[in-house]
Structure 1
Amino acid sequence: MNPESTASRLTPQAILIITLIGGSFAADSFLRFPIPGTNEPHYLCKAKHYWNPQWCAGDFFLESSNAHAVFYQVVGLLPQRLSLRDTALLGRLAGFLLLAIGWFRLFQVLTPGRWSPLIAAWIYLGIAAIGNFSGEWIIGGIESKVFAYGFLFLSLANASEQRWNRSAIYAGLTISWHPVVGVWALLCSAFSLLCLWLLQRKSPTRVTLRDAISKAVPAAGLLILCALPGLIPAVNLLLHSDSRDNFAANYIQVFYRIKHHLDPMDFHTFGYLMYAGLLGLWFFLRRKQNTTFANRFFQCFILGTIGLACVGFLLGAGPRPASEMPFYAFRMSLLKFYPFRLFDALLPLAVTMALVNSVSQRFFETRQTDAASPSASHSSRKAVVAVLSLSIFTAVLYSAWVFPPIHKMSPAQRQDWIDACQWIKQNTPETTLFLTPARESDFKWYAQRPEYVTVKDCPQDAPGVVEWNRRLKYLRNWGQKYYNEGFDDRALEALKENTNITHLLVKRLGPFKTIKSVYQNQTYKIYELP
């Protein structure tokens, strides 16, 4: 292998292609996931609070443990001087640029043609717009996994070129930015290398154990060094909890809070059918791909992600309620680590890569046998592929433009929500603590005031998950216990005494017999507790 592979050279053309890929990712993101995206209030508010604990002081979620410490440390510096919206904008642009660089490097190593990374990006966005398997995505709002996937692509590209030290550095950064993505990717890489070693045992050019160790030791050191900033906080979350909290938290996460990511019995039938089709297509296309080390390494890596998903299905398949499954405590303790994540995110990428390679091989064979006008025929076919892939990307953007994301609120309700939050920001002290509608997710984004509890903002440590569940149960029980054609002073006194809530932002909760709203619009009312 030439150490100065053309895939790693940053030529003006490469810069242009990377810019177009990043721009395509950004265009898809801003049209299909307007700011604030689904998880952006969750991540960016916590990042802001990380560097400024006085901001929304008293908010239960913001003061919980920090699972993604590297993201909060790096990105959290921006909202100290910028608005949350500007932070999301810059964060997305930075994340998609890194993602585009990693994408370009990976496809330049594993596919022929200078423009294949851009064509592949357009096709991938078309597949991603159709649906997913377990709710996983790469192109959306900004959060820690966007940076993690960018570093993962760089790691895979360098591993495919057998640049082990560089690959280890990027793998460590993947773990730092998102431990779950990074650790699963590391296991799949180890599986891939093991498969290749077994296949090459009888080869006269096989790598000896001594050579393998001499290369692995420095690479392992670099990987650990780069992984520690994110790995240490993640391991602390697992260690600092007792067995009772762990059991309860595992059950709450796997079978209630994020079951749409973790419980295979909760996944949609369409997701199973779509990914079965993608999997069959990938197995069919990969048969004709060349057998270079790079292709074999990547294919075995994808097989590793498929194996993880199969293990996840075996862990989660069974009767419901889940307590009827044999060994369900052990099974859910493993399911909480997102075994479907890499399979969900990377199978469409693998199919896209196989499609590009198959089309390129077809062109090459046709060009060799076309005696009449080989170059014209080859160029015209390339133009057809480029136009088709651009059409797919255009259709994705057009569908997002014509059918904008569906909020749980109507446009009028959404405006009422923002107006109420803005009134709170301008007219209430920062020391307030709010009870908000349970399903709203961006109160802190707009109102910049702490909340007692909300469904979306669930902590990631076991004691925090248990307390989150206790708070939600208390509010439900409080409503059932004290409601008598409304809520009287006794109900409000009990609520304030047990929660320290000072204000209520309500939609349907009420009526309140002894207090009047300090603000209201067509949808929401705000009350101050006496």
Structure 2
Amino acid sequence: MNDTTTFPPPTAAELRADFWRKWIEIGAIVLLFFLFVGPLTPEVNEAHYLAKARHYWNPAWCPDDHFLNSGDAHGVFYWSFGWITTLVSFPVAAWIGRWLCWIAIAVAWRRMIAQVTDLPWAGLYGMAMGLAGVYYLHMAGEWLIGGVEAKCFAYAFAFWGIGDALSGRWNRAWILLGIASAFHVLVGGWMVVCLMFCWLVCPRQRATIRSFWPGLFAGGAIALVGVVPLLLLDRGVAPEDSALASYYYVYERLNHHLVVHSFSLSFKLRFTLATFAWAGTAWLLRNHDKARLVNGVVAGSVVLVLIGVFIDQYFVFVLNDYLSAAKLLRLYWYRIADVMVPIGLSINLLALYQLHRAKLPTVARGVLVAVCLLVAVGLLVRIADRWTATAGPADQSTLVSDPTAWQEVGAWIRENTPPEAIFLTPRMQSTFKWYAQRAEVVTTKDVPQDDMNLLEWRWRRGAVQWRSINNRNTLSLAGLTEENVRDLVEKYGLKYVVVDQVIARRDHVPIEWSFQRIYPVDPAENASYEVYEVTP
């Protein structure tokens, strides 16, 4: 029997009200992002990405910085956004980028979740749950909302593409995921794999290959804009050099993201519990067509985690082949699940509430209220931490000894040293180029993406940072001898050394050089940081 019930078309007033409700909700989501991130710059990766972006457009800026002259793994981001860094200061560029990617993610997210549930304010509630989930339940250190970088725009296009798949626009979905891949090969590429897995396990909702192959082809062609330059970074590199570079990248520099057996047990347990919770809600929604599609994408991300765990366990503990494992583990198998499992769980909880609020109102409302209270407490703790911080996240994460003094010495260097000068800088920092805008010999944070420069980066770290530890058991550059410094001058052309005296005094390591101290100017002042000019 056909349902002949008809509904009148919405009036102009209703359309206007819907329009404003949508944009008010999007504004509320962006405000949530702002509160979540806090008022300070730079974020953990912003100094890294924005310095590279400025150098991409202006190679004369910090012309002899090793990292800035290394291969560009995110060329689309640098090309599309980097020019802004040549017009305004780094903090202003960071805020412009943050607002752009936050608005893009908010719009794409609300559009995606509206395909699953039409609950009022579902976008805001779902994102609040998702943010808290990603922050507290991640396993490998992935994040969704923070500073501006390539993956932020990739996630925006990925969410828009998933939303199109939910609404049956598979051709456009593949194209949008291709754009995401161009911005960030791993985020966009793994999202493509997850959507393909979703297509395989959701036969009732999927389109035919014949119907969407043009979009798949077009998306793949667009993705090549980001993939091909990345593949060309290591052309001509000997296989043994490439294997060593991957080993250092995976097991020495980024094991906290890539090596699951080195992750904290608490991180693994909380992510596992979140995955089981998501799986339980996904089973309850197995007959919900739209939720099933979302959960197919999430299931794909969980399969990637299982593949990563297998590689980690089999190649290392069975074959004892760290080099082969490193080549594979470099692909960030856990990245997408860190985001999509909490996101999928939040969508499922809202969909379940909508399904059962009429039949089981007390239970549905009780569960939703409990989850909302838990999320609210978690977000308030995070927001309070960010808004009471006295240093930017990048300086906090790299354990800068005295953040205020660090910014002051950076400003002094910017005003009082030649723009082309090269510096030896403290190990416990990642923001020297942000504040001082001068080249560095090496920085722990700034690991190159191409293999040969990655190997050179490791040699530089050994020549600078590890030598100070071996000489006098200190992380401060005060541990270097004058002969060490002169050797580095000959190798890398440096002119100045910035010494973290907080660490040096703590370790009882006095400086034993004949070089002139030029900062602080007052010879009697005991500053947190000192600058020495290396003379012949």
Normalized against structure 2, the TM-score is what? Answer: 0.86
Matching of residues 442-481 of structure 1 within 5 Å? 442-476=431-465, 479=468
2:88 maps to what in 1? 82
Q: Is the counterpart of residue 155 in structure 1 residue 144 in structure 2?
A: no
Distance 1:165 1:144, change over 3 A: same
**8 Å CA contact retained: 1:174, 1:227:** yes
1:428 maps to what in 2? 417
**8 Å CA contact retained: 1:148, 1:177:** yes
Matching of residues 90-169 of structure 1 within 5 Å? 90-169=96-175
2:330 maps to what in 1? 336
Residue 82 of structure 1: SS of its match in structure 2? Answer: coil
**8 Å CA contact retained: 2:249, 2:330:** yes
Q: Which amino acid aligns with 1:18?
A: I
Distance 1:503 1:334, change over 3 A: same
1:364 maps to what in 2? 358
1:195 maps to what in 2? 201
2:259 maps to what in 1? 263
- Tell me how far apart the structure 2 counterparts of residues 477 and 143 of structure 1 sit (CA, whole Å): 30
Q: Which amino acid aligns with 1:183?
A: G
**8 Å CA contact retained: 1:260, 1:267:** yes
Matching of residues 240-389 of structure 1 within 5 Å? 240-289=236-285, 291-317=287-313, 325-366=319-360
1:504 maps to what in 2? 497
1:526 maps to what in 2? 531
Residue 168 of structure 2: SS of its match in structure 1? Answer: coil
Q: Which stretch shows the higher mean deviation, 358-367 or 459-468?
A: 358-367
**Which of 360, 383, 391 in structure 2 is aligned with 1:397?**
383
**8 Å CA contact retained: 1:47, 1:75:** yes
User: Unmatched 5+ residue regions in structure 1?
Assistant: 1-5, 201-205, 371-376
**8 Å CA contact retained: 1:88, 1:142:** yes
**Cα drift, residue 179 of structure 1:** 0.2
Q: Which stretch shows the higher mean deviation, 475-484 or 85-94?
A: 475-484
2:523 maps to what in 1? none
**8 Å CA contact retained: 1:119, 1:390:** no
Distance 1:402 1:450, change over 3 A: closer
- Tell me how far apart the structure 2 counterparts of residues 276 and 477 of structure 1 sit (CA, whole Å): 37
1:515 maps to what in 2? 515
**Cα drift, residue 111 of structure 1:** 2.1
Residue 61 of structure 2: SS of its match in structure 1? Answer: coil
1:39 maps to what in 2? 45
Distance 1:383 1:263, change over 3 A: closer
**Cα drift, residue 383 of structure 1:** 9.0
**Cα drift, residue 487 of structure 1:** 6.2
**Cα drift, residue 432 of structure 1:** 0.8
| Alignment root-mean-square deviation, CA | 3.1
Percent identical among aligned pairs is: 28
1:70 maps to what in 2? 76
Q: Which amino acid aligns with 2:146?
A: G
Distance 1:410 1:258, change over 3 A: closer
**8 Å CA contact retained: 2:46, 2:147:** yes
Residue 528 of structure 2: SS of its match in structure 1? Answer: coil
- Tell me how far apart the structure 1 counterparts of residues 483 and 242 of structure 2 sit (CA, whole Å): 36
1:214 maps to what in 2? 210
**Cα drift, residue 399 of structure 1:** 4.7
- Tell me how far apart the structure 1 counterparts of residues 155 and 486 of structure 2 sit (CA, whole Å): 49
Q: Which amino acid aligns with 1:101?
A: V
Distance 1:138 1:480, change over 3 A: closer
**8 Å CA contact retained: 1:363, 1:381:** no
Distance 1:481 1:149, change over 3 A: closer
**Cα drift, residue 330 of structure 1:** 2.1
Distance 1:510 1:458, change over 3 A: farther
- Tell me how far apart the structure 2 counterparts of residues 296 and 408 of structure 1 sit (CA, whole Å): 38
- Tell me how far apart the structure 2 counterparts of residues 486 and 476 of structure 1 sit (CA, whole Å): 9
Matching of residues 216-231 of structure 1 within 5 Å? 216-231=212-227
Residue 506 of structure 1: SS of its match in structure 2? Answer: strand
**Cα drift, residue 495 of structure 1:** 2.4
**8 Å CA contact retained: 2:38, 2:383:** no
Residue 175 of structure 1: SS of its match in structure 2? Answer: helix
- Tell me how far apart the structure 2 counterparts of residues 342 and 172 of structure 1 sit (CA, whole Å): 16
1:373 maps to what in 2? none
2:31 maps to what in 1? 23
User: Unmatched 5+ residue regions in structure 2?
Assistant: 1-9, 521-525
Q: Deviation digits for residues 132-152 of structure 1, max 9, x if unmatched? A: 200110111111111111111
- Tell me how far apart the structure 2 counterparts of residues 499 and 174 of structure 1 sit (CA, whole Å): 38
2:406 maps to what in 1? 417
Matching of residues 1-12 of structure 1 within 5 Å? 11-12=19-20
Distance 1:378 1:55, change over 3 A: same
Q: Deviation digits for residues 485-513 of structure 1, max 9, x if unmatched? A: 97665444322112211110111376133
Q: Deviation digits for residues 430-462 of structure 1, max 9, x if unmatched? A: 121100012310000000000011110010011
**Cα drift, residue 79 of structure 1:** 1.2
- Tell me how far apart the structure 2 counterparts of residues 226 and 117 of structure 1 sit (CA, whole Å): 29
- Tell me how far apart the structure 2 counterparts of residues 103 and 174 of structure 1 sit (CA, whole Å): 14
**8 Å CA contact retained: 1:60, 1:452:** yes
**Cα drift, residue 411 of structure 1:** 8.9
Q: Which amino acid aligns with 1:164?
A: W
Residue 276 of structure 1: SS of its match in structure 2? Answer: helix
- Tell me how far apart the structure 2 counterparts of residues 486 and 27 of structure 1 sit (CA, whole Å): 41
Q: Which stretch shows the higher mean deviation, 69-78 or 506-515?
A: 506-515
- Tell me how far apart the structure 2 counterparts of residues 273 and 388 of structure 1 sit (CA, whole Å): 19
Residue 73 of structure 2: SS of its match in structure 1? Answer: coil
How many residues were matched structurally?
502
Distance 1:129 1:135, change over 3 A: closer
Residue 57 of structure 1: SS of its match in structure 2? Answer: coil
Residue 517 of structure 1: SS of its match in structure 2? Answer: strand
**Cα drift, residue 279 of structure 1:** 1.3
Q: Deviation digits for residues 221-259 of structure 1, max 9, x if unmatched? A: 320233232222122225452212211111001101000
Distance 1:161 1:477, change over 3 A: closer
**Cα drift, residue 49 of structure 1:** 0.6
Residue 498 of structure 2: SS of its match in structure 1? Answer: strand
Distance 1:490 1:193, change over 3 A: closer
Q: Which stretch shows the higher mean deviation, 110-119 or 150-159?
A: 110-119
1:495 maps to what in 2? 488
